[in-house]
Every structure is written in C-alpha cells, then in structure tokens.
Amino acid sequence: MVSSIKPISSKSMAEQVEQSLREYFAREAFKPGDPLPTELELAAALGVSRNVVREALSRFKMLGIIESKRRWAW
C-alpha cells in the first residue's frame, strides 16, 4: 500500500547539521562562554563541508544562541 512509503526528508544539509549541533550542545552541556570546536573540527566530525557548518552556525548567531569572538594568537 502506498501509505506505507515514508516521505523523503526535505531537510537541507544545514538543517540536519543544525539539529545535530543542537543535540551535541545539549549533550555536552555547553554553558555561556564555553568555547566551541572550530568549524573545521565540526565539519570533519559531521562529514560535511565547512560551508555547511558555517551556515548552521550563522543561524545560531541570528537566533542569539551563540556569538563569535575573534581568537587572538599571541
């Protein structure tokens, strides 16, 4: 019967990454001010490009969930 066919997920890659990161942040109990892994580290862990991670993180920034600060190398 056709009703038993599951619809194809219409979530974009960035939406999937966003969901994975929300779960990761909750599981690891990040607190305000805690440093996040770099975009490259997240991309490697998730198996996606850095641009996809950057898009997901920019959504968090727009929502005020995270903020970015420049890391200074001395």
- Is the pTM higher than 0.85? no
What number of CA atoms fall less than 13 Å from residue 59's CA on the CB side? 13
| H helices present in the chain, as ranges | 13-27, 39-46, 50-63
Structural domains of the chain sorted by starting position, each given as residue range(s) with its CATH number in brackets: 12-63 (1.10.10.10)
What is the per-residue pLDDT across 2-50, written as a single tens digit (0 to 9) for each? 778 777 667 889 999 999 999 999 999 988 888 999 999 999 999 999 9
